[in-house]
Structure 1
């Protein structure tokens, strides 16, 4: 099977694990990546892989949904030269890059697509039309969460859906941490921005150190570093907090193996909600227990192994962490459950299921008949995949923040847009 995959983040070697796993299964995969992409893990010169990589120039590099390929004709030429059996567009259906590739693809070329969008957003024209056209054209979709699957089905995608987690690299292996260790080591890994709950992590530490020796290791970078340092000083725990920059994969894996609890205190905003939380499965694969807020996709990814409380309730989060650390059997049970969950999210397992989706798409099955009415279709999607993730402004917000200010006006505007979409059929 020849597969042409397109992925804006493919310059990062860690983000090419999916292709390596597919190649190991015998898939003849070619990966298309931007010739440059401003990301911390992006390689200036790509390292060798067991599959070919094509680098193409893009405009607006770094803008996930609005970057475009400099030569639209070059996309058609590449498809004609490689003659793939399937085109896999690892971009959001609403994105400009996805629009370009779908226009370049011959009408009889089977297409699979990715989505992480777990909020049922109303996009402005022409993006709403691009998204609808993508859902009609693609034969298969591999969202990274059930919430994202519910969004896609509710918006009218009738093709095959396989909910596939972001895989965990084999470098992440279990440490020997137990709840009886003399010092409890907490971890917070990722973008250090307000919505990731960095200051809540400091507050959790400040409570735990009054109970038993504890330390917080923060890995990443972002605008919250200064505020986090200041809060740690104010609460008297500055000496118990370590700040580290982004780490290479091997170093990060070693760090994970020494952590007892990995914190994911993410908070929903008017524009963002947690779409997956890669650190959850990395932590679980390393033997750490995940604790945080039941926000966005976190409950679905963390599963029964995670210790979750209501969003923003830092007091209850601290109490929950104390309870699990006080009960050696309960801690060990959560740890073992997390290890089992992570074993089902290895890249070889994800690739096996992705290949199964490819085969289903190539068989050109009939599309699922969906209710015509928007409300009925969304109810059916919730029955199949569960609810979508709400933002702070509501369940079906406008993608443009300026349109979220007046609830009555936005409801009326939303009704007009939904009606127009049904009339145009685009």
Structure 2
């Protein structure tokens, strides 16, 4: 495990005369496994970490209200009901509920993890304006779209208030610049990888049939049909392999039918969606993990967190050039063009035929995660950004498209 570089935190303490108090506000941290970054920050013993999450968050994909999990005692967790639960851009806290949390925790800085045009970001920006204390907004938005007038006004207010922005991907950072933001802007994922949970496996049977894995939603934009077409190419070339597909979604039956038409159905093992705590065991059975996403007019891959989980385990990853995938992987010989089954098949053929290259790529993934994507590295970058933002004035008036 990488130690968090806390070289900047003494400067923070010198300014404040005590620990920095940072309050995170986001529905993402209702799930305990997502709180690892926050615990890594708290583990420095130089920052008091508070967290406000909805007590009534309804996850649309599971159609149920999520209980608030509290696996890390170093994080002071607040929970309060929200209006419009489950609607990422529209949900918000009642003003007095948010006010009670802010009064109790007394943060020096608030980091809200919601889009810059969200009601939640507006609420935090209002607090920042009233108190003069800094706020930071993290967002994933990576599609250029025309915002309704109320969203535009919200966006302008937030951009004119924040001390810094964090984008989860390069495309999102470009959009924020096109909207006129000229302040501090970092690109890093919202959540890192627990490198103890997602650790390299050494017990993979070298005699087992080559296993190509997919873990994700079974929807058109995830491009699993491209993987099936590539598998047909591999079969025609006489290569031996198995494909393990883990996921659920609207395209499951259609994909199973397509596999039968391509006459590769006997090579495919179908599993339902894998819970996060079971993901390391499943990924550990893969010889390579594929993320064959494709862009649509309203969506492109914002990051692909499963990529860095597999990389942390030393499992080679291959992805399309959709959205943030090439930046997350960072290596051109592991990238193919969207919908290019032949290009994907060529990379997979090399992975099957060249175990030395596969081992090299696996070690590359481990090193890349340790350098950029562990919880500890995300914590370090957050600490540095906060140091820069403590006394940073708001920018000139900005316009949102």
**TM-score under structure 1 length normalisation:** 0.81
Q: Gapped runs of 5+ residues in structure 2?
A: 1-19
1:31 aligns with 2:51: yes
> Which residue of 199, 205, 212 maps to 2:231?
205
Q: Which moved more, 1:301-310 or 1:105-114?
A: 301-310
Q: Deviations over 1:398-424 (max 9, x none)?
A: xxxxxxxxxxxxxxxxxxx96xxxxxx
Seen in structure 2, the aligned counterparts of structure 1 residues 101 and 184 have a Cα distance that, compared at 3 Å, is: same
Give the alignment's Cα RMSD to 1 decimal: 2.4
Task: Give the count of matched residue pairs.
Answer: 372
Structure 2: distance between partners of 1:204 and 1:189:
17
Offset at 1:42?
Answer: 7.1
1:256 aligns with 2:297: no
Structure 1: distance between partners of 2:361 and 2:343:
18
The match for 2:17 is: none
The match for 1:74 is: 97
Seen in structure 2, the aligned counterparts of structure 1 residues 180 and 78 have a Cα distance that, compared at 3 Å, is: closer
Seen in structure 2, the aligned counterparts of structure 1 residues 232 and 177 have a Cα distance that, compared at 3 Å, is: farther
Offset at 1:350?
Answer: 0.6
Seen in structure 2, the aligned counterparts of structure 1 residues 306 and 283 have a Cα distance that, compared at 3 Å, is: farther
Offset at 1:366?
Answer: 7.6
Structure 1: distance between partners of 2:142 and 2:207:
38
Seen in structure 2, the aligned counterparts of structure 1 residues 42 and 13 have a Cα distance that, compared at 3 Å, is: farther
Q: Deviations over 1:110-155 (max 9, x none)?
A: 1011011123322111101211221111101221222222221221
The match for 1:112 is: 136
1:60 aligns with 2:79: no
Q: Deviations over 1:301-353 (max 9, x none)?
A: 11017611111111221122212332333222222211111112100111111
> Which residue of 307, 311, 328 maps to 2:355?
328
1:52 alignment partner, SS class: strand
1:92 aligns with 2:118: no
Structure 2: distance between partners of 1:134 and 1:24:
30
Offset at 1:279?
Answer: 1.1
The match for 1:397 is: none
Structure 2: distance between partners of 1:244 and 1:340:
30
Offset at 1:212?
Answer: 2.4
Seen in structure 2, the aligned counterparts of structure 1 residues 121 and 177 have a Cα distance that, compared at 3 Å, is: farther
Structure 1: distance between partners of 2:70 and 2:107:
24
The match for 1:195 is: 221
**TM-score under structure 2 length normalisation:** 0.86
Q: Deviations over 1:60-98 (max 9, x none)?
A: 2111112222x1222123212321100110111111221
1:20 aligns with 2:20: no
1:162 alignment partner, SS class: strand
Structure 1: distance between partners of 2:77 and 2:353:
50
> 1:13–1:42: 8 Å Cα contact kept in structure 2?
no
Correspondence 1:18-417 to 2 at 5 A: 18-26=37-45, 27-39=47-59, 40=62, 43-50=66-73, 51-69=75-93, 71-105=94-128, 106-165=130-189, 166-170=191-195, 171-176=197-202, 181-210=207-236, 211-304=238-331, 307-344=334-371, 345-364=373-392
> 1:179–1:328: 8 Å Cα contact kept in structure 2?
no
Structure 2: distance between partners of 1:320 and 1:48:
40
Offset at 1:180?
Answer: 6.9
> 1:177–1:287: 8 Å Cα contact kept in structure 2?
no
1:243 alignment partner, SS class: strand
> Which residue of 22, 27, 50 maps to 1:8?
27
1:282 alignment partner, SS class: helix
Seen in structure 2, the aligned counterparts of structure 1 residues 153 and 137 have a Cα distance that, compared at 3 Å, is: same
Q: Gapped runs of 5+ residues in structure 1?
A: 375-416, 419-426
